[in-house]
Amino acid sequence: MIKLFYTKDSKDFSDYELLDTGEGEKLERFGRHVFVRPHEDAVWPKTLSKKEWEQIDGKFWSSKQGAKKGWIFAKDGPWGNSLKDRPLKWPMEYKGIKFLASPTPFRHLGFFPEQASHWDFIENVIKNSRGRTSGSLDVRPLKFLNLFGYTGVASLFALRAGAEVTHLDASKQTLAWAKENQELSGLGNLPMRIIEDDAIKFLEREAKRGNKYDAIIMDPPKFGRGPKGEVWKIEEMLPKLLLAVKNVLSDKPLFVILTSYAIGSSSLSLGYALAETMRNFKGNTEAGELCVLEKSNKRIIPLANTAVWSI
């Protein structure tokens, strides 16, 4: 069965709203700024008026829309019409965790709001797991690994819950953003290793060193390059990634989360892959879609595929 993962109460995320969707686009509010971004699966008419769709700070055009790919900003907005140099960033907050938002060249704004249900899951499960890993009185910190960790919002929820966090990404700029988010949330004194590396090479070295993790989250891209030019293609590399993940799991792992924006087929594909990876561990796998509740007419809008294994 396909599960829908989403935050059911919009009050939990007052800094973000999916205002409307339709005609291949989505209208979103990020704090005080409103943007239009592509959403090709929105094959229905828009609900809000044309005027409401035009009162925006910026719009990202995809190559499929017949215009030059990239952002076009309002002339009277804070960006001018360029993302050159350091773009404006502004603070966002979800349940006490603070992080910076800003338009990027890849249509994103530094985080994925549909992953909020995963953030809740990570924090709640880690908080409730103390003493479970290898004995009723075990006080060893749970070790959490965030692969392809981007700007680190998921890492911050694990960190606040009491985990010892390793946050990995191949982009030096993105890792600097993650460190900014850690400081902004007041968690700078807590143990979070921030590592620039190729995911599979890192996992292979960790396995040789005997380092193990109790919980892992990963959001592999469709295509990318590591710090030394390593080529990543999800269709070829996902099986190798999952095997490498399996080799660094502790004897009693707590959960593994796999999310993909790159695989357009059913989330069952991710579910089958993750279930096969975890078949020697006692637990269950759920496959589904990460969603956001649309404000204009309360539709549940799917934005990514995901699979979650947990005990």
> Which pLDDT band holds residue 12 (cuts at 50, 70, 90)?
confident
Of the candidates 119, 66, 70, 58, the one whose C-alpha atom is nearest the C-alpha of residue 93 is 119
pLDDT of residue 77: 75
Q: Which residue has the higher pLDDT, 175 or 220?
A: 175
Whole-number pLDDT of residue 263: 59
pLDDT attached to residue 261: 87
- The answer to whether position 197 is within a domain reads yes
Residue 306 included in any domain:
yes
pLDDT value, residue 60: 94
pLDDT in tens, 27-39: 999 999 999 999 9
Q: Locate tokens 């828009």: which residue?
A: 46
Question: 24 vs 38, 60, 62, 93, CA distance in Å?
Answer: 6, 12, 10, 28
Q: What is the pLDDT of residue 229?
A: 64
Quick one: which of 107, 98, 122 has its CA closest to 259? 122
Residue 227 lies in a domain: yes
Q: What is the mean pLDDT of residues 37-65?
A: 92
- Is 300 inside a domain boundary? yes
Question: What was the pLDDT predicted at 47?
Answer: 98
- pTM of the predicted model, to two decimals? 0.92
pLDDT for the residue 62: 85
pLDDT of residue 265: 62
Does 11 score more than 70 pLDDT?
Answer: yes
- pLDDT, residue 131, reads 55
Report yes or no on 57 lying in a domain.
no
Q: DSSP E strands: which ranges in the chain?
A: 2-5, 16-22, 25-30, 33-38, 58-61, 70-73, 90-94, 97-101, 143-147, 164-169, 192-196, 215-218, 223-225, 231-233, 255-260, 284-293, 300-310
User: 65: closest CA among 45, 102, 87, 39?
Assistant: 39
pLDDT of 53 higher than 90: yes
Residue 85 confidence (pLDDT) above 60: no
User: What's the pLDDT score for residue 137?
Assistant: 45
Residue 80 lies in a domain: no
| pLDDT at residue 82 is higher than 70 | no
pLDDT of residue 303: 95
- Domain count of the chain? 1
Q: Give tens-digit pLDDT for 178-213.
A: 999 999 999 999 999 999 999 999 999 999 999 999
Average pLDDT over residues 258-279: 88
State pLDDT tens for residues 101-159. Answer: 999 988 999 999 999 999 999 999 999 987 554 454 456 789 999 999 999 999 999 99
CATH number at residue 200: 3.40.50.150
Label residue 92 left, alpha or beta by phi (over 0 means left) and psi (-120 to 50 means alpha). Answer: beta
What is the pLDDT, as a whole number, of residue 226? 62
Pseudo-torsion of CA 65, 66, 68, 71, nearest 10°?
A: -20
Structural domain harbouring 97: 2-11+89-310
Sheet containing strand 70-73, strands side by side? 16-22, 25-30, 33-38, 58-61, 70-73
Q: Flag whether 232 is in a domain.
A: yes
Q: Is residue 81 part of a domain?
A: no
Amino acid at 138: D
Average pLDDT along the chain: 90
Q: Residue 116's Cα: distance from chain center in Å?
A: 8
